[in-house]
Chain A
Amino acid sequence: MYEFDWSSIPGALPFLAHGMVVSLQITAVAILVGIVWGTLLAMMRLSSVNALSWFAAGYVNLFRAVPLVMVLLWFFLIVPHLLETLFGFPRGSDMRMGSAIAGFALFEAAYYSEIIRAGIQSVPKGQMAAASALGMGYAQSMRLVVLPQAFRNMVPLLLTQGIILFQDTSLVYVSALADFFGAASKVGDRDGRLVEMLLFAGAVYFVICFTISQLVRYYQTKLKTA
């Protein structure tokens, strides 16, 4: 029978906490940029200007066809090299955090844009007509009438996507960044206690994600009854 030894966890807590901060930073920035860029993409996709809608469709379909791991590898191995040659950044500067965040944000924007597009389309067409009838322009109708309703319906889906994104941040493992999971596996390797550290990491992720998903569900039922 395997004998558990959890003794390396207490000493490693500050290091693990720092890793969690990294995970949360990546999550927060990627959600923020993802939603803003995703909203723009969704509006482009729905616009009547063909060039814009084709660009958005191409972007979204490309990012949704490629594994996140591949995108992160692009941003870890290739993009820094590209930036060095294009803009003369000093060779070997540590861009891991920046490129990880950029990779996540650009990737997640594709997923957010699909959620937002569905949200905008779920607002009855008559709303846009009513706004125009009151003399609002396209941008005004969108901002004052359509988007507020769309976002209200989308909040649960956006939050659920946020939970997925938080889980996905563990994949920065491929760029050797010490996020929470990276930190846990480093400690595990160092102390020869990988079994305990992996189970601990799994439990922490579970508690966080389960709690937030229950809150989302609670919010969803409140939204329905309201």
Chain B
Amino acid sequence: MGYSWNWDVLLQPSATGDGTYLGWMFYGFKMTIGLSLSAWLMALILGALVGVLRTVPNKALSGLAAAYVELFRNIPLLVQLFIWYFVLPELAPAALGDAFKQSNPIVQQFVSALLCLGFFTSARVAEQVRSGINSLPRGQKNAALAIGFTLAQAYRYVMLPMAFRLVVPPLTSEFLNIFKNSAVCSTIGLLELAAEGRQLVDYTAQPYESFIAVTLAYVLINVVVMFAMRRVEAQVRVPGYMGGH
């Protein structure tokens, strides 16, 4: 097809003289991992909280949690990202907004991306946590209360430990999603993996090698996360429950 393959291009010094093109890719790789892991931590904490609130017997609290979930679920990720990055600094109190706009552009991009991915994913985590809690037999809550636990203790010692075990498999797919979704952050100029791939195409004029390398990097992340989560699943499996012995 008249295309001359040249994988060595990845090892050549980059146009800006700061290492090789592979080094660029590695920088993007680290950015993707760092962003995704920190957003995941945020999503787990917020999502667990909101998911629990959705199940408590208090209309105001559960309604508020439901509104939270609907808000972050029904607006496209890209739109949310642009709102975090372009809109909120304008609407925030002047001092805060100005401080944000005067900070290092990488910090601005990273913070917006983190908040965006964290909140977006937390709504999905919350839904999984809620359905985990709701899928527990109703009698479990009664049994916990009957033995003298307060509602908070019933959640803490009985319902949540079990719900979290049930929720691990669906959370694996949300965890994978956060790495994939982080690629959207290339649109605000954050130099993560996908953005570096685009740069590589422009600078090396070897588009196939660049994109294949970046695509493989995503596949690698996917495989590693799947193996890690499978270990977690095996760790938390309850003997005698749901076919686990």
Q: What residues of chain A have their CB less than 8 Å away from a CB belonging to chain B?
A: 1-2, 62, 64-70, 73-74, 77-78, 81-82, 85-86, 163, 167-168, 170-171, 173-174, 181, 185, 194-195, 198-199, 201-202, 205-206, 209-210, 213
Contacts and interface: CB of A to CB of B under 8 A. Distances in A.
A66 B218 CA distance: 6
A199 B194 CA distance: 26
Contact of B181 (A67, A78, A181, A201): A67
A66 B76 CA distance: 18
Interface stretch (B136-144, B149-157, B182-190): B182-190
Contact of B74 (A70, A198, A213): A213
Given A81-B207, A209-B74, A185 B82 contact: yes
Size class of the contact patch on chain B: 35 or more
Interface class of chain B by DSSP: helix
Contact of A67 (B1, B80, B86, B194): B194
Q: Give the most central of A62, A67, A74, A210: most B CB within 10 Å.
A: A67
Interface in B201-225: 201, 207-208, 211, 214-215, 218-219, 222-223
B107 interface: no
Interface of B: 1-3, 70-71, 73-80, 82-83, 86-87, 90-91, 94, 176, 179-184, 186-187, 194, 197-198, 201, 207-208, 211, 214-215, 218-219, 222-223
Given A2-B90, A198-B82, A70 B219 contact: no
B181 A195 contact: no
A69 to B, nearest CB: 4
Contacts of B183: 67-70
